[in-house]
Each structure stands twice: as C-alpha cells, then as structure tokens.
C-alpha cells in the first residue's frame, strides 16, 4: 500500500480502498460460488464504473506512474479480503 502511495495521490488511494466490499463480493463469487442477484450486479457495476470515471483523467493523461500506483494499492486490498 505504501509503495502505491509513492506513485499515486491520496485521493485515488482512498477511492480504491473504498472498493473493498466490492472485492469481497468478487472473491465470494469466485471461491464460494455465491449466487448473483440483480442487486449485487448493479452495485458492483456502479462501484467499478464510478472508480473508472473518477480515475479517467489519470488514465487519459497516460500517467504510467499513477496507474502503477493504483494497481499496487488495488493489489494491497487482496490480502484484506481474505481476513
């Protein structure tokens, strides 16, 4: 997480860490075969699309460091989902 903060800004990091519930749902779908409902699909779509729209400026400006930092922060969330 700290390495990701080195490459990106705190605002993007805060937004990405707010996706922890969505990541938990995705892990449950993959490993525990949780049933998909319309509410789950809509909530996941809103969370993921919202993150993409907020970080669109970063992606559009070809700032590779910000993208690397965002990916590092997202990867740091994976161990948190296992707790």
Q: Give mean pLDDT, residues 10-33.
A: 83
**Closest Cα to residue 4, out of 80, 77, 79, 60?**
77
pLDDT at residue number 49 = 86
pTM value surpassing 0.85: no
Q: Which position has the higher pLDDT, 54 or 30?
A: 30
* Mean pLDDT calculated for residue range 77-82: 82
Distance CA 48, CA 74 (A): 12
Structural domain boundaries, residue 30:
2-81
In the predicted model, what is the mean pLDDT of residues 42-64? 73
The answer to whether residues 17 and 69 touch, using CB atoms and an 8 Å cutoff, is: no
pLDDT, residue 9, reads 77
**Number of compact structural domains in the chain:** 1
């Amino acid at each position: 997480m700290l390495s990701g903060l080195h490459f990106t800004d705190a605002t993007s990091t805060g937004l990405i860490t707010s996706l922890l519930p969505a990541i938990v749902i995705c892990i449950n779908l993959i490993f525990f075969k949780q049933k998909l409902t319309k509410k789950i699909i809509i909530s996941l779509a809103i969370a993921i699309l919202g993150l993409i729209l907020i970080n669109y400026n970063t992606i559009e400006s070809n700032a590779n460091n910000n993208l690397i930092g965002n990916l590092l922060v997202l990867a740091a969330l994976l161990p948190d989902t296992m707790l």
